[in-house]
Amino acid sequence: MIDPKNNINDVMDVAILDAKVVAVSKNIDPKKAAQVIDAKGMYVTPGLIDIHSHNFFGTEPDHYLGNGLEALPPDGFTFKAGVTTVVDAGGAGWKTFDAFKTQTIDHAKTRVLSFLNIVGEGMRGGPYEQNLSDMDSKMTAMAVKQHKEIIVGIKVAHYVGGEWDPVDRAVAAGKIANVPVMIDFGGNNPPLSIQELFTKHLRPGDIFTHAFAELGSREPIVDSQGKIRPFVIDAQKNGIVFDVGHGGGSFRFSQAIPALKGGFIPNTISTDLHTGSMNAGMKDQLNVMSKFLNIGMNLQQVIAASTWLPAKVIHKEDLGHISTGAVADVAIFSLLKGKFGYIDSGGFSMQGDQKLQCELTIRDGKVVYDLNGISRPAWDAPSSTTNAAKPK
Ligand SMILES: [Zn+2]
pLDDT digits (tens, 9 = 90+) for 269-312: 999 999 999 999 999 999 999 999 999 999 999 999 999 999 99
Q: Where does the pLDDT of residue 204 fall: very low under 50, low under 70, confident under 90, or very high at 90 and above?
A: very high
**What residues sit around ligand 1, an ion, with C-beta below 5 angstroms?**
89, 272
Distance 67 CA to ligand 1 centre (A): 14
Rounded to an integer, the average pLDDT of 181-189 is 89
Phi-psi group of 64: left, alpha or beta (phi > 0 → left; psi -120 to 50 → alpha; rest → beta): left
- Residue pair 28/15 in contact by the 8 Å Cβ criterion: yes
CB atoms within 10 A of CB 160: 11
Distance 129 CA to ligand 1 centre (A): 13
Distance 235 CA to ligand 1 centre (A): 22
Distance 278 CA to ligand 1 centre (A): 12
Bridge-partner residues for 336, per DSSP? 355
Distance 120 CA to ligand 1 centre (A): 17
Distance 71 CA to ligand 1 centre (A): 10
Distance 390 CA to ligand 1 centre (A): 39
Rounded Cα–Cα distance for residues 383 and 43 (Å): 29
Distance 286 CA to ligand 1 centre (A): 17
- Report the pLDDT value the prediction gives residue 186, as an integer from 0 to 100: 76
- Report the pLDDT value the prediction gives residue 187, as an integer from 0 to 100: 80
- Report the pLDDT value the prediction gives residue 92, as an integer from 0 to 100: 98
Q: Where does the pLDDT of residue 385 fall: very low under 50, low under 70, confident under 90, or very high at 90 and above?
A: low
Q: Say which residues have a Cβ less than 8 Å from residue 129's Cβ, sequence separation at least 6.
A: 119, 121, 123, 157, 158, 159
Distance 183 CA to ligand 1 centre (A): 10
Q: Where does the pLDDT of residue 392 fall: very low under 50, low under 70, confident under 90, or very high at 90 and above?
A: very low
The per-residue pLDDT of the chain, averaged, comes to 96
For 130, phi then psi, to 5°, come to: -105, 0
Distance 261 CA to ligand 1 centre (A): 26
Distance 51 CA to ligand 1 centre (A): 10
Distance 156 CA to ligand 1 centre (A): 10
Looking at the whole model, is its pTM more than 0.95?
yes
Q: Where does the pLDDT of residue 389 fall: very low under 50, low under 70, confident under 90, or very high at 90 and above?
A: very low
- Report the pLDDT value the prediction gives residue 173, as an integer from 0 to 100: 98
Distance 4 CA to ligand 1 centre (A): 26
- Residue pair 184/155 in contact by the 8 Å Cβ criterion: yes
Alpha-helical runs (H) found in 249-371:
253-261, 285-294, 299-304, 308-313
Distance 52 CA to ligand 1 centre (A): 6
Distance 116 CA to ligand 1 centre (A): 12
- Report the pLDDT value the prediction gives residue 382, as an integer from 0 to 100: 86
Rounded Cα–Cα distance for residues 243 and 117 (Å): 17
Q: What are the CA-CA distances from residue 335 to residues 286, 288, 370 (Å)? A: 11, 14, 16
Distance 114 CA to ligand 1 centre (A): 12
Distance 53 CA to ligand 1 centre (A): 6
